[in-house]
Amino acid sequence: MSDRYARQSLFKPIGESGQQKIGEKHVLLVGCGALGSANAEGLVRAGIGKLTIIDRDYVELTNLQRQQLFTEQDYLNQIPKAIAAKARLHDINSNVIIHAHVIDATYTSLEPLLKDVDLLIDATDNFDTRFIINDLMQKHKIPWVFGSCVGSTGMSYTILPNETPCLQCILDATPISGATCDSVGIIYPTVQMVVAHQQAEALKLLVEDDNALRTKLVTFDLWNNFYHTMNMDRSKKKSCPSCGDNPIYTYLDYEHQPKTEVLCGRNTVQIRNKRRVSLEELANRLLTVGTVKKNDFLVSVEYDSYRVVFFQDGRTLIHGTNSIDTAKKIYYQLTG
């Protein structure tokens, strides 16, 4: 066993056999913001065999306060988070196989990546995506660790298909605040607390110590000194459309997947188009419109009072409006 993981292997619940198991496992990380970047670093330092990262966004200045893998240069160059994370993680542990995807997490984009995944970690920032994850994990019988944080509050729960209540069951039984980091802010320790719970559960699952898994929903408020665990066993429902006796996986239906959406609290609209774009051609065409920035993954242009960002997978972010109608108008003005 490599000396690199000696201190982790000395921990009896892991040991050398557990460390070997960690090195053979594949984790899918959905989202590479605050929770995602911290989870990714923890997994890579722990010696995970393979890590796949999915994130649709690029590094912005406000990310640097809490998203630990990114630098000012990543922000200046508008590097996609998944790509910036992969570069930094490779510097931390070059033995880990890391795949980075600059895509939106949808049913059609996620399902092809699940073939040999042992565990999924939720690091998303919206429940639309989480419900898709929830249905997919139930369908493919893959365990996943839910995590959420805002302000000084956070929560985490480990979901095991066929055993525990799923996310749909939990949310039907537990009121969830609609606050976001963009509307009420967040402090860095909140992120670390959620990640600590997610990482501990991830390690238990990776070394296959299921008896040690936390079976309760954890909620906390660091600023107001509150910590609570809640038994969710009774929330599991036989009629649940995701984990019940006759699942129908509602959120995997095309009509339930957003094509155009307002990104909560960000004064931004995302438009999703199945048609991939030529960034080179688009950048040249937009030079007559406004100031253009381009890298291998996206093209952005300053247009009137808006910043419009085009991704290679066909997604477009229109910053500066919460109006879908306005965003569509701008999109068609620039793309025809």
Give 1-42 as a DSSP string.
--GGGHHHHHSTTTHHHHHHHHTT-EEEEE--SHHHHHHHHH
pLDDT band for position 2 (cuts 50, 70, 90): low
- In the chain, the amino acid numbered 134 is N
pTM, to two decimals: 0.84
| pLDDT at 273 (0 to 100) | 76
162-204 confidence digits (pLDDT tens): 999 999 999 887 766 656 676 578 999 999 999 999 999 999 9
15-53 confidence digits (pLDDT tens): 999 999 999 999 999 999 999 999 999 999 999 999 999
DSSP 249-296: -GGGSGGGS-SEEEETTTTEEEEE-SS---HHHHHHHHTTTS-EEE-S
Above 90 in pLDDT, residue 331? no
Give the Cβ contact number of residue 97 at 10 Å: 10
Question: Does residue 239 share a domain with residue 118?
Answer: yes
Mean pLDDT, rounded, for 78-85: 97
| pLDDT at 175 (0 to 100) | 64
CA distance 199 to 203: 6
List the single range of 151-155, 261-265, 290-294 with lowest mean pLDDT: 261-265
Confirm if 295 and 310 have CB atoms less than 8 A apart. Answer: no
Confirm if 283 and 299 have CB atoms less than 8 A apart. Answer: yes
Closest C-alpha to 32, from 78, 107, 100, 129:
100
What CATH number is associated with residue 233?
Answer: 3.40.50.720
Give the domain-ending residue among 199, 230, 254.
254
Above 50 in pLDDT, residue 303? yes
Give the domain-ending residue among 232, 254, 276.
254
What CATH number is associated with residue 313?
Answer: 3.30.310.10
pLDDT band for position 158 (cuts 50, 70, 90): very high
How many domains does the chain fold into?
2
209-236 confidence digits (pLDDT tens): 999 999 999 999 999 999 999 999 999 9
| pLDDT at 171 (0 to 100) | 85
For the chain, how big is the Rg over CA atoms in Å? 20
Question: Does residue 228 share a domain with residue 311?
Answer: no
Angle (CA) 114-119-121 rounded to 5° is 100
Question: Does residue 199 share a domain with residue 283?
Answer: no
Give SS3 for 106.
coil
229-257 confidence digits (pLDDT tens): 999 999 999 999 999 999 999 989 866 66
CA distance 6 to 315: 44
Mean pLDDT, rounded, for 72-87: 97
Helix axes 188-206, 15-22, angle to 10 degrees: 110
Confirm if 123 and 30 have CB atoms less than 8 A apart. Answer: yes
Q: How far is CA 62 from the centre of its chain?
A: 17
Give the domain-ending residue among 198, 230, 254.
254
pLDDT band for position 115 (cuts 50, 70, 90): very high
Question: Does residue 200 share a domain with residue 219?
Answer: yes
Question: Does residue 268 share a domain with residue 229?
Answer: no
* Residue, of 109 and 254, whose pLDDT is higher: 109
Question: Does residue 155 share a domain with residue 81?
Answer: yes
Question: Does residue 17 share a domain with residue 145?
Answer: yes
Q: What is the largest CA-CA distance in the chain?
A: 64
Question: Does residue 267 share a domain with residue 210?
Answer: no
Where in the sequence is the domain holding 303, given as residue range(s)? 258-335
